[in-house]
Amino acid sequence: MKKIAFISDYFISDGSGGAELTTDAIMRFGVERGFEISAIHCARLDKKTLVKNKDTHHFIVCNFFQLHDDLKLYMIKNCSYSIVEYDYKICKHRSFELHQLKEGEPCDCETQMHGKINSAFYGYAEKVWFMSEKQMNMILEKVSALKIENCEVLNSVFNPGDLRFMFSIKDNEKNDKYLILDSVSPVKPSTAAVAYAEQNNLKYEIVQNLPY
C-alpha cells in the first residue's frame, strides 16, 4: 500500500477554512482509493521524521508557511513530494496584492532569500497543483525554476457529501438577491462587493459566521 503523508500548517481538526476543507477532501479521496494517509503539522515536522519516511512515503505539502527552510532544503535533495498551492507563498505576505498594500511597491520576494528557497521548493516538486489558472500563471511568472509541465490546475475540492448536497439544492427556487460574505480582509473586502452591487443595482444581503 502506498503511503502518503500530508504536511500542512493546519488541518480540518484545527479549523474549517477553505484550504483545510480542500485538503481534507483530497485526503478522504486518498483513503477511498486505498492509500495509507497521514497528517503532519509543519510546526511539528522534524528532519528525523523525514529521514525515517523518505523512502516509503510520498509527501504532499499544502500550506507551508510554518515549514522551516532547512526542512524544505532537505526535502528538495532527498524526498519525493508534491505541493498543493492555495495562495502565493513565493511572497512573504502570501499575496501580491497584500504586499503592494502593506509595502507600497510590487512584490519582489522572489529576489529575497525567503523567495529563493520557496522558488527552489516549487521547482523540485514532482507536481504543483493550483486553485486557478490565473494563480498558476502569476506564480509561473515569478518562479523560473517551476516548469509548466509540472503544474496542473486543481481548483477547490469538495467531499462527496458536500457535492451531493449542492446537487440536491441546485434546482431549488431562487430569488434575485446576492449574498456577500462579510469580510474586512484588505484583499477581499466586502465593501468592494457592496459598492459593485450598488453601482449595478443588484439586490444583496451581507452574511457572516455561517457554517461551511
Q: What is the tens place of the pLDDT at every residue in 127-152? A: 999 999 999 999 999 999 999 999 99
Q: Among candidates 56, 65, 49, which has minimal Cα distance to 10?
A: 65
160 by Cβ neighbours in 10 Å (0-12 / 13-18 / 19+) ranks as exposed
CA distances from 85 to 22, 55, 156, 194, 196 (A): 11, 24, 11, 29, 29
Q: Which three-class secondary structure state does DSSP give residue 69?
A: helix
1 pLDDT more than 80: no
CA distances from 27 to 59, 67, 84, 87, 161 (A): 12, 20, 12, 19, 14
Q: What is the pLDDT of residues 31-76, one digit of tens each?
A: 999 999 999 999 999 999 999 998 888 999 999 999 999 999 999 9
Q: What is the pLDDT of residues 77-114, one digit of tens each?
A: 999 999 999 999 999 999 999 999 899 999 999 999 99
